Amino acid sequence: MEVISSKFNKSNTTTSTYDHHKRNTRRRNIFLAITLILLGVIILLIILYFTVFKPKHPVTTINSIDLEDLQVSFDLPRLRLNLNLTLIVNLSIKNPNKASFIYGNDSTSLLYYRNDVVGQGILPGGKISSGETKVLDTKLVVLADRLIANSNVYTDVVSGMLPLTTYTKISGKVSILNSFKHHLVSYSWCDIVIDVMNQRVSNSGCRYKTKF
């Protein structure tokens, strides 16, 4: 009787050990499977990030620069030039990213005369959806006191051709997969010449630059 009981206990111990080993093997296989799946997802996200979701800079295009207002007069008793000038810059911003591009109020538009800032405009913040192209108008108003402070303006106005440069900066960010945020900036400069006699923009040429 004792021999039979001993054999039975031994058999139970062997079965218990086998079941325990089987459970450990199953857990290990499940853990390995989950690890491989997670690694696969991470690798897939990395591939998508550097291909489909790779951040791209916004594409800014200056469509036109129009003269909205120009008033020129000479105050002979005071030997002073009075000049009021307003430009309308029409520009397009294309967002080539797979996420929305949000640009803030730090975006700006300026007007230069011979390297001096003589005017400014307002570019309110906004949002451009994925693949969308947004068209904006910004009004540049000359700050007359700054302009006439440069003595060269008298010669240019008398000659009938006033050279100016418009500067536009679009600053914003995109959020890739709701996790990775990238700051993107697009710059544009346009050299123009104002035909004072005919009151029109007679010539223009633009340059573009981007920065991550």
Do 92 and 34 lie in one domain? The reply is no
Do 81 and 186 lie in one domain? The reply is yes
Do 1 and 105 lie in one domain? The reply is no
pLDDT in tens, 104-132: 888 999 999 999 999 999 888 899 999 99
- The span from the CA of 22 to the CA of 17, in Å, is 9
Q: Answer whether residue 88 shows pLDDT above 50.
A: yes
Can you tell me whether residue 31 is helix, strand or coil? helix
Do 47 and 63 lie in one domain? The reply is no
Structure token pair of residue 24: 């450990």
Tell me which residue range forms the domain holding 29. 1-51
Do 70 and 13 lie in one domain? The reply is no
Give the number of other Cβ atoms within 10 Å of residue 29's Cβ.
10
- The span from the CA of 27 to the CA of 21, in Å, is 10
Mean pLDDT of 80-95: 91
Q: Is the pTM of the predicted complex or chain greater than 0.85? A: no
pLDDT at 8: 46
Do 28 and 132 lie in one domain? The reply is no
CATH of the domain at 113: 2.60.40.10
DSSP states along 46-109: HHHHHTTT-----EEEEEEEEEEEEEEEEETTTTEEEEEEEEEEEEEEE--SSS-EEE-TT-EE
Do 133 and 198 lie in one domain? The reply is yes
Count of the separate structural domains present in the chain? 2
Do 188 and 118 lie in one domain? The reply is yes
Q: Answer whether residue 139 shows pLDDT above 90.
A: yes
Do 66 and 19 lie in one domain? The reply is no
Do 5 and 66 lie in one domain? The reply is no
- The span from the CA of 199 to the CA of 66, in Å, is 10
Domain boundary among 34, 51, 68: 51
Closest by alpha carbon to 186, among 205, 175, 173, 204? Answer: 173
Do 35 and 79 lie in one domain? The reply is no
Do 13 and 111 lie in one domain? The reply is no
